[in-house]
A and B are shown apart, each in its own frame.
Chain A
């Protein structure tokens, strides 16, 4: 485990204590998951429960600001993300999020505020208005990072092997890039979440456009270009022999499970592919009751893989 960055380290007395308490986090849900993908939250919570990961409520959480606010005004973005970090820090907790957008935004903000003294001063002046201060003590993690730490426990709990599931896994950009900020997996050849998925007996297939952006951030500026990118991705996933696409990000999932509906290639072939969250795949393989995993909220029909999933 990489040591968390702490402005006070090595004088910080909390540092050692908090790395030992690694299985308790405030869970940062963001906006997209409670709005569109409550099945992701439900499946995350039931898995966390199985693995004794304690998810505490993130009182007072706002939007992370994400790339939207960063595009509009960086000081407002740093303040918004910085406030969320400072809230968890004040309560002495680390942060976990199941969203790549929130992960990227919070980590990126943390990176800037840690390294850039002039930005940190500006932001702390604004945070002082609401009684907060950023010191850089809260660690920010993606839920799949926490799961990867527990991969041996997960392997022991697989009771329902998913043989025949051919997954086009899409890690999403902000889980791995920029690697100096994300610090989770190889930015050009990620394998950690694939390893988790393959614990279930499923296969994470190679596909050329795996690391290509899903196009979702462009829905706000040009749905036309976002859809062109989505078509390229889906065609490649289907050509590569996948029978489902799996993500760990609600923004990417918006493309794969909402925007894709009714989408066809030039020859009129459907570009839909069952779209699942990492937590749903792991949950079903761990024998968790499928009603708790929220499959009824997946928009693209799951029929082609229903037998494999035991639905």
Chain B
């Protein structure tokens, strides 16, 4: 069990104060969202999940928390320890786009300052350079590879100004 992410470590002894139907509704509206009551808790998603044995809260439990309208789901480690392998989504007998919903939850968690530092620095890197990593030129020269085609950074920066990439946090 990892201690890496999330403040919600266990359901044991946990009381949830509010069941927020608006939260369920917001999640239903995400890309990949749908009527979440379609989930009947077969747990096939968790059975195929590569981190089921490494998280405190498993993916089928996340799906139930969504139906119950518990924003505390954003505090679970499953949100950021999902590998995005899409096995759950591929296998869901109800055709729920589970992985895609989880991406939307990550967006929500990011807006609430609940994201690993690596994502925060990657955002800056993508804004500043338009890339996640820079070419290793000496290797390319050794192998006779041409320079990587030029990227006009003004273009990507202009787009990110429009999407508000650097101002996603709700407090800003």
Contact = CB atoms under 8 A, between A and B. Distances in A.
Interface string A172-196: 0110011100000001100000000
Contact of B86 (A61, A69, A178): A178
Contact of B122 (A32, A218, A220): A220
B143 A221 contact: no
Interface in A250-296: 292, 294
B149 A74 contact: no
A83 B133 contact: no
Contact of B90 (A34, A177, A213, A221): A177
Interface residues of A, number: 65
A69 B163 contact: no
A35 B135 contact: yes
Contacts of B97: 178
Interface string B125-166: 010001111111001100111101111100110111011010
A39 B150 CA distance: 21
A36 B84 CA distance: 22
Contacts of B158: 129-130
A222 interface: yes
A80 interface: yes
A83 B156 contact: yes
A61 B149 CA distance: 7
Contacts of B148: 29, 34
Nearest to B137: A34
Interface of B: 2, 4-5, 31, 50-51, 54, 80-81, 83-87, 89-90, 97, 99, 103-104, 106-107, 110, 115-116, 118-119, 122-123, 126, 130-136, 139-140, 143-146, 148-152, 155-156, 158-160, 162-163, 165, 168
Top 6 nearest A-B pairs by Cβ distance? A35-B133, A213-B85, A220-B118, A177-B86, A34-B135, A221-B116
